[in-house]
Chain A
Amino acid sequence: MSWAETMRAGLDAIRAQRLRSLLTVLGIVIGISSVILTVGLGQGAQRQVQDQIDALGSNLLIVSPGSSTDSSGVRGGFGSASTLTMSDAEAIADPVAVPDAAAVAPTVSTSSSLAAGETNWTTSMVGATSSWPRVRSRELSSGRFLTAEEIASAAPVTVLGADTVAELFSTGSPVGQTVRVEGTTLTVVGVLAESGASSSGASEDDQAVVPLGLAKQLTGSTDTSVSTIYVEATAQDTLGAAYQEVETLLHNLHGVSAEEADFSLATQDSLVATANETNETMTVLLGGIAAISLLVGGIGVMNIMLVSVTERIREIGLRKALGATPAAIRRQFLVEASMLGLAGGLVGVLIGGLGARVLPALIDQPVAISLTATMAAIGTALALGIGFGVYPASRAARLAPIDALRSQ
């Protein structure tokens, strides 16, 4: 009996029991569509994190005070704020010491309350130097950035994030208007274009950028410590070299060994990896649940196939009497089970794909559908059909023709 014949017989059998076939594949449909959705959710979240971290700047190296290289890489140094200084930043900017650094942007940041007229708004005040827009990949939507003179003289000027503007000024352009911080009146000279990103939960669109010296004065700080030094490497493939150079330089400057380092270095990649760890845990967990439901679906197929063997025992006997070999019978039931599995997989992918369209609108989470995951899901469904069809099929094949024919 050829494969084409076997498939025709399989289709006949499935069609003869439409409702039961449908119920049989339901488990697989649910399993596959939830696999598609969970994998899609996980990948969507990863892509989102990637996008946000990419938006921090390109080829970016982040130097933070504090020894930990743990998960809070960006925030690092809240407890030990004084280990990084302006002179560190100046040393990194030296092309002899760190040839692979294209630009260096030291920053200090504190939480501050801004007031415009009657409106108050607490935001992050960032003290920056003139390389900040370049290193952080930021552009202005109106006005201009702080000039070198303003930065050198710690002039009372500021550039605001788009969200900050929205909170403080209800109408009109904020450029030329003033805000008050700690009793000092600052003139708004520009507004940052939206980046859409956030780091450590704080929106990159809600901040007030001021000259670094001014930020020091406003917070009453007298030392030269900085919160973070952003370093832009000359290219994507020199990022690793720049990392090494900065690390060695700071070890020497601070007179510490690698074990007792009082600063930490992070690249975008390491940030992405850290953020993805959490996502992966979620994906694995949800994926595990989906895998269990697939297993249950597979057992469902086996169950129904066993019932089907019992129910069709006379048919099996008759086919054997007419010349079906045990191998032909086994193949018939295996093909039937794999067709059920495959059908379940295809419907599952369809429903999963539909869910991936609808879900983002409901829960505000992106869902990415990957071709690999889809193919793997269909393959799994097929394998389930075959795997759980083997036992019923060999049972059918082993039936003695005469016992099968005689059964009522």
Chain B
Amino acid sequence: MSVVTCPDGDPAVHLAGVRKTYRSGTVEFEALRGIDMAIGTGDFVAVIGPSGSGKSTLMNLLGCLDVPTEGTYLLGGEDVSTMSETQLAHVRNRRIGFVFQQFHLLASLPAWRNVELPLVYAGIGRNERRERAVAALERVGLGDRVGNRPGELSGGQQQRVAVARALVTEPDIILADEPTGNLDSESTEAVLGLLGELHDAGRTIVLITHELEVAARAHRQLVIRDGRITSDESIGASR
């Protein structure tokens, strides 16, 4: 593989020749078939494409939850495709915030303890954790729900807790895989508004969706089909 050069100088994410093949028994399926792309720091990118096109697969690679079968992935200039499980865990903890379609909150813990979880693994002290978790919850408008368990919150509120958890570590990149897939229009609006605010604050955001209105909030749209990027266009100037 040739030395990767970056057009913008300091890309948050740089993929070169990335392929991902799933194997189940003897059956092989190539979900990503050669992805080359760069995402600049502070970009707000939407990834769209039909079901089964490889969006979630891409997001898992970007989030260091999975490793490419082939190709290189540079995250903030660091090659993560050769890192160990432990190193990847540290990278996820420090650089990435996740928002999932299914929220993925721990039902037994109150909102603030869900939000502080990444800080626990970052080795931050108890008092500071609590302060930062509460501040993050206030930022997503849930200052009065700090002690509620996920079961006591609406879907939109739960997703806002998840957003608070994603931003509490001040990560470089926030990855959101269909964050509004399970939400009504009002909650969708709230969550997208939050992502917009985070973008304004300088975070790099990758938003996966199949809804065009949702994708329209981003400043750049990547269309993916059958494991390949078929279109990459910037829409509208920054706000």
Contact = CB atoms under 8 A, between A and B. Distances in A.
Interface residues of A, number: 23
B14 interface: no
Contact of A325 (B60, B86, B98, B118): B86
Contact of B108 (A16, A319, A322, A405): A16
Contacts of B121: 1, 319, 322-325, 328
Interface string B107-144: 01100000001101111000000000000000000000
B86 A327 contact: yes
A44 interface: no
A12 B108 contact: yes
Interface stretch (B88-96, B203-211, B223-231): B88-96
Nearest to B107: A16
A319 B86 CA distance: 13
A401 interface: yes
B30 interface: no
B109 A322 contact: no
A5 B86 contact: no
A112 B189 CA distance: 108
Nearest to A9: B120
Contacts, number: 60
B170 interface: no
B109 to A, nearest CB: 7
Question: DSSP majority for the B interface?
Answer: helix
Interface string B78-106: 00000001100110111000101000101
B118 A323 contact: yes
A407 to B, nearest CB: 11
A76 B85 CA distance: 75
A325 B89 contact: yes
B150 interface: no
B93 to A, nearest CB: 2
A323 B90 contact: yes
Contacts of B108: 12-13, 16
B98 A321 contact: yes
A322 B165 contact: yes
Contact of A324 (B60, B89, B98, B106): B89
Interface string B60-83: 100101100000000000000000
Contacts of B89: 320, 323-326, 328
A372 B108 CA distance: 40
A402 B60 contact: yes
Contact of B92 (A12, A13, A314, A322): A322
Contact of B66 (A1, A318, A402): A402
Nearest to B105: A318
A13 B120 CA distance: 16
B122 A323 contact: yes
A322 B118 contact: yes
Query: Which of B100, B120, B165 has its CB near the most chain A CB atoms (within 10 A)?
Result: B120
A400 interface: yes
A5 B125 CA distance: 10
Nearest to B122: A323
Given A12-B109, A320-B65, A322-B92, 20 more contacts: A1-B121, A1-B123, A12-B108, A315-B106, A318-B104, A318-B106, A320-B92, A321-B92, A321-B98, A321-B104, A322-B121, A323-B92, A323-B122, A324-B121, A325-B85, A326-B85, A327-B86, A328-B89, A400-B66, A405-B100
18 contacts: A12-B109, A13-B108, A16-B108, A319-B117, A319-B121, A320-B92, A321-B92, A323-B89, A323-B90, A325-B85, A325-B90, A326-B85, A326-B86, A326-B89, A328-B89, A400-B66, A401-B65, A405-B104
> Nearest 5 pairs between A and B by C-beta?
A323-B93, A323-B121, A325-B89, A402-B65, A16-B108
Interface of A: 1-2, 5, 12-13, 16, 314-315, 318-328, 400-402, 405
Interface of B: 60, 63, 65-66, 85-86, 89-90, 92-94, 98, 100, 104, 106, 108-109, 117-118, 120-123, 165
